[in-house]
Amino acid sequence: MRASVQLSTAIEILSDREKRQSYLAGWFPGLRSRESGDLDIKACVLCSDRTFSGLEYRGLPVRDFSSISLLFGDGVISLGSVDEENRLIKKRFRIYADGGPTALDLDNYLSSNPKYLSIYAPFMRPITRLEYLDNGATIVGFETFVLTVEDISEWCGHLESLGFQRLPDEELDIRNHGDTWPTKTENS
pTM (predicted TM-score): 0.71
Range 85-101 average pLDDT? 89
Mean pLDDT of the chain: 85
Range 31-53 average pLDDT? 82
Q: Which of 45-49, 91-95, 164-168 has the lowest mean pLDDT?
A: 45-49
CA distance 10 to 57: 16
Q: Look at residue 184 in the predicted model and tell me its pLDDT.
A: 52
Kindly report the CA angle at 103 between 2 and 92, in degrees rounded to 5? 95
CB 146 within 8 A of CB 125: yes
Q: Look at residue 108 in the predicted model and tell me its pLDDT.
A: 92
Range 24-36 average pLDDT? 83
Q: Look at residue 188 in the predicted model and tell me its pLDDT.
A: 44
Give the pLDDT confidence of 54-91 residue by residue, as tens digits.
889 888 899 999 889 988 999 999 988 888 888 889 99
Structural domain boundaries of the chain? 42-186
Q: Determine the 3-state secondary structure of 72 from DSSP.
A: helix
Range 43-48 average pLDDT? 88
Q: Look at residue 186 in the predicted model and tell me its pLDDT.
A: 53
